[in-house]
Structure 1
Amino acid sequence: MRRIALHTRLKPGREREYDDVHATIPPELAAAIRAAGVHGWWIWRDGPDLFHLVEVEDYQRMRHELRDHPVNVAWQARMAELLDVTDDYSGTDSGLPLVWALPPASGGPTA
């Protein structure tokens, strides 16, 4: 299991719309994401900046599996209206590099 951190940015003035769209994720999308090996996905927003934490078995495999999945293609088209980013969803990235971590005292998972 890996933890992947991501950063994306919204187009100016799209914060409310982004929040509204994410209030209800289509069940088919959630199922496709889970089937691709994602165990959890969290998004925090600070103004237009979005910070994601993804717990996934294999990030590149997940991106590859979702790239052409019809429900994800539709979702990514909707997100393209809101996000100030170009992403071919190739999965060649590895997320943000980890700079520092304070591991759980129990010796739990590391990045």
Structure 2
Amino acid sequence: MRRIALHTRLKPGREHEYDDVHATIPAELAAAIRAAGVHGWWIWRDGLDLFHLVEVEDYRRMRDELRDHPANVAWQARMAALLDVTDDYSGTDSGLALVWALPTAADRAPS
């Protein structure tokens, strides 16, 4: 299992619309995301900046599987109207670089 951090940015003035759209994720999209190996996905917003944490079995495989999925294609088209950057959904990125972490109890080896 990997944790992938991502950063995206909203177009100015689209904050409330983005929040409203995310109040209910389409069931078909949620099912496709889970089937692609995602165990959890969290998004935090600070003004226009969005920070995602994705717990996924294989990030590139997930991107490959979702790229042409009809539910994801429709969702990405909707997000393109709200986001400041264009994402070709290539899956060639590897997320944000981890600088530091305080390990959880599960991450620490027994002494």
Structure 2 length normalisation: TM-score? 0.95
Could you tell me which runs of 5 or more consecutive residues in structure 2 were left unpaired when the two chains were aligned. Answer: none
Given residue 85 of structure 2, which amino acid in structure 1 is its aligned partner? V
CA distance in 2, matches of 1:35, 1:59: 12
* Offset of residue 69 of structure 1: 0.3
CA distance in 1, matches of 2:67, 2:38: 14
1:43 counterpart residue number: 43
Given residue 35 of structure 2, which amino acid in structure 1 is its aligned partner? A
Given residue 17 of structure 1, which amino acid in structure 2 is its aligned partner? E
2:76 counterpart residue number: 76
CA distance in 1, matches of 2:91, 2:18: 23
Task: Give the 3-state SS of the residue equivalent to 1:19 in structure 2.
Answer: helix
Could you list the runs of 4 or more consecutive aligned residues of structure 1 that deviate by over 6 angstroms after TM superposition?
none
Could you tell me which runs of 5 or more consecutive residues in structure 1 were left unpaired when the two chains were aligned. Answer: none
1:64 counterpart residue number: 64
Are 1:30 and 2:36 an aligned pair?
no
Task: Give the 3-state SS of the residue equivalent to 2:76 in structure 1.
Answer: helix
2:103 counterpart residue number: 103
Number of paired residues? 108
* Offset of residue 86 of structure 1: 1.1
* Offset of residue 107 of structure 1: 3.6
1:20 counterpart residue number: 20
Structure 1 length normalisation: TM-score? 0.95
CA distance in 2, matches of 1:16, 1:107: 37
Task: Give the 3-state SS of the residue equivalent to 1:16 in structure 2.
Answer: helix
